[in-house]
Amino acid sequence: MKLTTEAKGKKMTCENSKCKQTGKVQRINEVSDSFPNLLFGMGNPLLDISAVVDKDFLDKYGLKPNDQILAEDKHKALFEELVKKFKVEYHAGGATQNSIKIAQWMIQEPHKVGTFFGCIGNDKFGEILKQKAEEAHVDAHYYEQDKEPTGTCAACITGDNRSLVANLAAANCYKKDKHLDLEENWKLVEKAKVYYIAGFFLTVSLESILKVAKHASENNKLFGLNLSAPFICQFFKDNLMQVMPYVDVLFGNETEAATFGKEQGFETKDIKEIAKKAQALPKVNKKRQRIVVFTQGKDGTIMAQSDKIETFPVIEIDPKDIVDTNGAGDAFVGGFLSGLAQEQQLDQCVKAGHYAANVIIRRAGCTFPEKPDFK
């Protein structure tokens, strides 16, 4: 799915009223000829280490067959043993990086449409992460430091189950003044037209998010944020609501949406109503109205824009064809972002998101075939 010369050069004189009728994303200023680095992401980079293990391995580290946890002291030796004892596969991971990677895959060419910032360790896993990002044609610019090792996520596979153990480590060490503020890095931020950050990064560097969000707002570019997890909506509510006025596209799933609605005192459990109320929250850039997109697993995806709320059915899939649902949300966002980057109609962005998610849940991890089959 390439951006045609016509799409690059055409001008959209779309006022808000017309955008409401057509469902188009308001023109992102001028699309520059230098299409690389048009999409910018910032978040927690993790090296996914995946391997088929046995029950004894799970029992040794107190793991459940199908669970997601943060690593504790008792899991420190797990990662090294996983690499030594089993045949492992490495993938560049982390929520935002996954979405940027998927968007790049959907767009295909040119390479390095997506830029990614995050913090890694100066170590072997960091080198693998850089290599994997390069293989995915993502323009990753990592802040490298020696205090903490590269963040990892162990995917311990037993049958159809995957026990995930995440060790954020270096991902927690991102510093605005040491990386984002550097002239050569900030130039990459300025080059972008579409921005995306998962809510997980609100726990790491609020000041970095705000700097990027304000830049997007002041220059009438698109800034997207994901609620990411119920605990973000609950325990990092203040950080989240500092960023919300700059959010043009808000993503989340039904569980996150319900928690967000409860924490915001919306007094409704209806996901459509929560989307509508989230869409109407105060916004700094008045030139474009907020779009809210809530996925609901196998149920339809809800999108609120202007005074319209729509539900889009997902692609049907036989349950026996589902290999791994982890990463489905990241993949949906990646597909959606690929549409935004190419100035597609919003319903086409949702369609691209559904396609990407459908591909990813048929495979182990957030992986994909060489080329997408999406039209």
Q: Please list the active-site residues.
A: 330
Closest CA to 166 of 256, 63, 81, 46: 46
Q: How far apart are CA 201 and CA 210, in angstroms?
A: 11
Q: How far is CA 110 from CA 90, 142, 256, 321, 332, in A?
A: 25, 21, 34, 32, 21
Contact yes or no for 135/47 (Cβ under 8 A): no
- Which residues does 121 contact at the CB level (< 8 Å), separation at least 6? 144, 145, 146, 148, 149, 150, 169, 170
How is residue 12 written in tokens?
A: 């959209």
Q: How far apart are CA 244 and CA 235, in angstroms?
A: 15
Going by DSSP bridges, is the β-strand pair 291-296/299-305 parallel, antiparallel, or unpaired?
antiparallel
Backbone dihedral angles phi then psi of residue 192, each to the nearest 5 degrees: -75, 160
Q: How far apart are CA 27 and CA 14, in angstroms?
A: 7
Q: How far apart are CA 252 and CA 257, in angstroms?
A: 6
Three-state secondary structure call for residue 218: helix
Closest CA to 45 of 204, 252, 280: 204
Number of H helices, E strands in the chain: 14, 14
Contact yes or no for 229/222 (Cβ under 8 A): no
Q: How far apart are CA 116 and CA 197, in angstroms?
A: 10
Q: How far apart are CA 350 and CA 70, in angstroms?
A: 31
CB atoms near residue 92 (< 10 Å): 25
- Which residues does 109 contact at the CB level (< 8 Å), separation at least 6? 2
